[in-house]
Chain A
């Protein structure tokens, strides 16, 4: 099923084993080649934020996200994960730059397949971009192929 970052934000995240609510979807961490979701950033209620790898998501449903574990919060890894938590690498609002060095607006929303976590497209301030045109996502920009 097709889903988007904007639509998924705030959706509750529930542990599949204990039925306990872990928190809600705060954001997504995308792999460096901008092809799929690596992990889901979950904000706990009053607790510290945690990052759930996509492999630990059993089902990304339309009303709730079912995660595998209820126990130990996934330790936030160094580097990219930490950057993402601090809001350094965020897809939404990110500058878009084509490989010719021209800015092409900013990211409004990201579409993905809720079964696989694969990105299916990006809605930019200048229109729709297909997933095949995405090259990489870094702290400076989302890099895309020129038109």
Chain B
């Protein structure tokens, strides 16, 4: 889990079939369900210079891995026209987290959500949010947890997460791993 990247950096990446070594599409947009803090999938463009929109979509459940250089799928049949989950049909309907105000448990405002951070490799998932603090130029990264309450206006950072807030993306990958380990210990 040490490798993480901005979901916005996935846009334009090729979707490559492991079976054939062919680039079957490229990422048009990332579809994200903010209420569940879950990556749903991708809408796609055709490959090539004058590429248009592709009807087919790629559900997150169908992909093999997300890497810095490509989205890997088992084969060309992984991209599909019948879009389940339905949210892929109407990307705008998934509740957006961008612009939400991030508050700590003790009532401090960290700033505004400007992006989603995903883990790379097999079983990729949303692991954090990038925050733009109003009083500083440096963005900060906060880990996602199930305890995180979200209203479409405010995002509440649990007290347990405050130790794992980072201001560099490279260090944030390790922080997410540590945060999840501490959550597991808390449950047992």
**A residues whose Cβ falls under 8 Å from a Cβ of B:** 32, 34, 97-103, 135-143
Produce 1/0 per residue, B65-105, CB < 8 A to A: 11111111000000000000000000000000000000000
Name B's interface SS. Answer: loop
How far, in whole Å, are A109 and B29 apart by their CA atoms in the complex? 37
| Residue pair B22, A139 in contact (C-beta under 8 Å) | yes
Among A32, A99, A101, residue most surrounded by chain B Cβ atoms (within 10 Å): A101
- Min Cβ gap B20→A in Å is 5
| Residue pair B72, A100 in contact (C-beta under 8 Å) | yes
Q: Across the A-B interface, how many residue pairs have beta carbons closer than 8 Å?
A: 70
- Min Cβ gap A84→B in Å is 13
How far, in whole Å, are A143 and B21 apart by their CA atoms in the complex? 6
**B residues whose Cβ falls under 8 Å from a Cβ of A:** 13-14, 16-23, 64-72, 120-122
Residue from A103, A137, A140, A142 in contact with B23 in the complex, judged by beta carbons closer than 8 Å: A140
- Min Cβ gap B16→A in Å is 6
| Residue pair B65, A100 in contact (C-beta under 8 Å) | yes
Residue from B19, B20, B22, B70 in contact with A101 in the complex, judged by beta carbons closer than 8 Å: B70
| Residue pair B20, A102 in contact (C-beta under 8 Å) | no
Which residue on chain B has the smallest CB distance to residue A140?
B23
Show 14 A/B contacts (Cβ-Cβ < 8 Å), sorted by A.
A32-B21, A97-B70, A100-B65, A100-B67, A101-B65, A101-B120, A102-B67, A102-B68, A102-B120, A103-B70, A137-B21, A141-B21, A143-B16, A143-B21
When distances are taken between beta carbons in the complex, the residues of chain B under 8 Å from A135 are 18, 21
Residue from A99, A137, A140 in contact with B14 in the complex, judged by beta carbons closer than 8 Å: A140
Residue from A98, A100, A103, A136 in contact with B20 in the complex, judged by beta carbons closer than 8 Å: A136
- Min Cβ gap A83→B in Å is 10
Residue from A32, A101, A136, A138 in contact with B66 in the complex, judged by beta carbons closer than 8 Å: A101
When distances are taken between beta carbons in the complex, the residues of chain B under 8 Å from A141 are 16, 21, 23, 70
| Residue pair B17, A101 in contact (C-beta under 8 Å) | no
When distances are taken between beta carbons in the complex, the residues of chain A under 8 Å from B18 are 99, 135-136, 143
The 10 closest A-B pairs by CB, nearest first: A101-B67, A138-B21, A140-B23, A138-B22, A103-B69, A101-B70, A136-B21, A102-B67, A100-B65, A138-B20
- Min Cβ gap A34→B in Å is 8
Among B14, B70, B72, residue most surrounded by chain A Cβ atoms (within 10 Å): B70
With A100-B72, A101-B72 already in contact, the answer to whether A140 and B67 are too (CB < 8 A) is no
When distances are taken between beta carbons in the complex, the residues of chain B under 8 Å from A32 are 19-21
How far, in whole Å, are A97 and B18 apart by their CA atoms in the complex? 9
With A138-B17, A140-B14 already in contact, the answer to whether A100 and B22 are too (CB < 8 A) is no
With A100-B65, A101-B66 already in contact, the answer to whether A140 and B71 are too (CB < 8 A) is no
When distances are taken between beta carbons in the complex, the residues of chain B under 8 Å from A102 are 67-70, 120
When distances are taken between beta carbons in the complex, the residues of chain B under 8 Å from A142 are 21
Residue from A101, A136, A138, A139 in contact with B69 in the complex, judged by beta carbons closer than 8 Å: A101
How far, in whole Å, are A61 and B143 apart by their CA atoms in the complex? 61
